Amino acid sequence: MTVRSMPTVDGLRVWVLDFPTDVPEADGTATWTSTTMVLVRARSGASHGYGWTYGAAACAGVITDLLAEHAIGRSVFDVPAANEAMHRALRNAGRPGIGGYALSAVDIALWDLKSRLLGLPLADLLGRARDTVPVYGSGGFTTYTDQQAREQLRGWTEQQAIPRVKIKIGEEWGTREDRDLARVEQARAIIGPGVELYVDANGGYTAKQAIRLARRFEEYGVRWFEEPVSSDDLAGLARVRAATGIEVAAGEYGFTLPYFAAMAPSVDCLQADATRCGGITVWLRAAALAQAHGLELSGHCAPHVHAHAAAALPNLRHLEWFHDHIRIENLLFDGTLDPTGGALHPGRSDAPGMGLTPRPDVLERHTRTTATAPAASP
């Protein structure tokens, strides 16, 4: 009898990277001038896989102190086992929040490592349900001037031929309704009648306010109303959903499957973010959960994390081609995807894994801290 020798996860390296925004950015309920990425490299022998999350720098300590020991030493092929062990290890520290971001980054790196070791694009390893992955242009920050908004919308719809766009509304916690309406009107005028227009209030409105505004948004053909109220207010989401023909979407703060199960009856499209909910392992399960509720799933932010996994979903709606993250991913990685025409073709290059390689000079320039586990691991 021969005993198969499985490649094992030998070590993790973690970087905290800071990327200043191109201009100050804000949505309905937050403002920022810099975005932090926590990048993980998982190693097996001489092979590496990469995963990341856009989360607090504290994720790095969670990875090296709490999670690494549950991934290292395992078979590279058994990503769900590592995911489950990390999930259990976070019981007392907290699986939602920073724990979820940290676990997700490691899980993504492990999927990338496994598919690289097998010499396959991740989409081929998971198995495709579709050849193309639709995207929508996302940005439209409340801080933009009219000119900046116009240039961004035209870049997506005219230069890249993306037929779906989203702008932020709910400015200053829903206190700038007139400006929200003016920006929706302006966006529709810029993109013309043939492009789907989405809005995202990031929970900035009350339910009654969102219902009243939705009637106005319908006049501009708005198709998608994301987080009209706080995503913790499931009854409010359901009330808005029942009062408008615009699709209500939420789910970007979901960390666990019970969260998505509770939310599903209150939305028209479920969103999930693989960099928060538990990596690609749990994101695929969230998609199955959505399907069981008759819903499609839309990937939130970090489009290059989701692209290959999205090809595996029969009930995919689309991915968010988010300006802030696209800028970072195009800067940091060789091998990024082209959204021209409104859809990605993950794996078309035949590059293994997610097909992305960090540029060493960019990595070095944006590194705040870096650490390894075990401590002596390269």
Positions that interact with Mg ion (CB under 5 A): 200, 226
Least Å distance, CB 252 to Mg ion, is: 5
Residue 311 neighbours by CB distance under 10 Å? 24
Distance CA 221, CA 185 (A): 10
Pick 83 or 152: Cβ nearer Mg ion: 152
Give residue for tokens 């689309």.
Answer: 318
Pick 28 or 347: Cβ nearer Mg ion: 28
Which candidate, 361, 278, 332, places its Cα nearest to that of 82? Answer: 278
Least Å distance, CB 276 to Mg ion, is: 12
DSSP 126-161: H--S-S-EEEEEE---TT--HHHHHHHHHIIIIIS-
Cα 368 to its chain centre, rounded Å, is: 22
**Residue 340 CB partners (closer than 8 Å, separation 6+):** 160, 161, 162
Position 373: which residue type? A
Pick 200 or 268: Cβ nearer Mg ion: 200
Secondary structure element (H or E) that encloses residue 48, with its range: strand 47-53
End-to-end, the C-alpha distance of the chain in Å comes to: 35
Q: Contact 190/154 with Cβ under 8 angstroms?
A: yes
3-state SS assignment for residue 84? helix
Least Å distance, CB 249 to Mg ion, is: 8
Pick 124 or 320: Cβ nearer Mg ion: 320
Distance CA 7, CA 56 (A): 31
Which candidate, 247, 324, 312, places its Cα nearest to that of 283? Answer: 312
Pick 13 or 276: Cβ nearer Mg ion: 276
Least Å distance, CB 203 to Mg ion, is: 9
Least Å distance, CB 226 to Mg ion, is: 5
CA dihedral angle for residue 249, residue 250, residue 256, residue 262, rounded to 10 degrees: -70
Nearest position to Mg ion, beta carbon = 200
Least Å distance, CB 28 to Mg ion, is: 9
Least Å distance, CB 78 to Mg ion, is: 33
Least Å distance, CB 9 to Mg ion, is: 33
Least Å distance, CB 272 to Mg ion, is: 12
Which candidate, 313, 276, 305, places its Cα nearest to that of 110? Answer: 305
The crossing angle, in degrees rounded to 10, of helices 303-310 and 323-332 is: 90
Pick 170 or 342: Cβ nearer Mg ion: 170
Pick 121 or 139: Cβ nearer Mg ion: 139
Least Å distance, CB 202 to Mg ion, is: 6
Distance CA 358, CA 362 (A): 8
Pick 124 or 200: Cβ nearer Mg ion: 200
Cα 108 to its chain centre, rounded Å, is: 12
Pick 200 or 233: Cβ nearer Mg ion: 200
Pick 50 or 322: Cβ nearer Mg ion: 322
DSSP 233-244: -HHHHHHHHHH-
Pairing assessment for the beta strands 357-358 and 333-334 based on DSSP bridges:
antiparallel
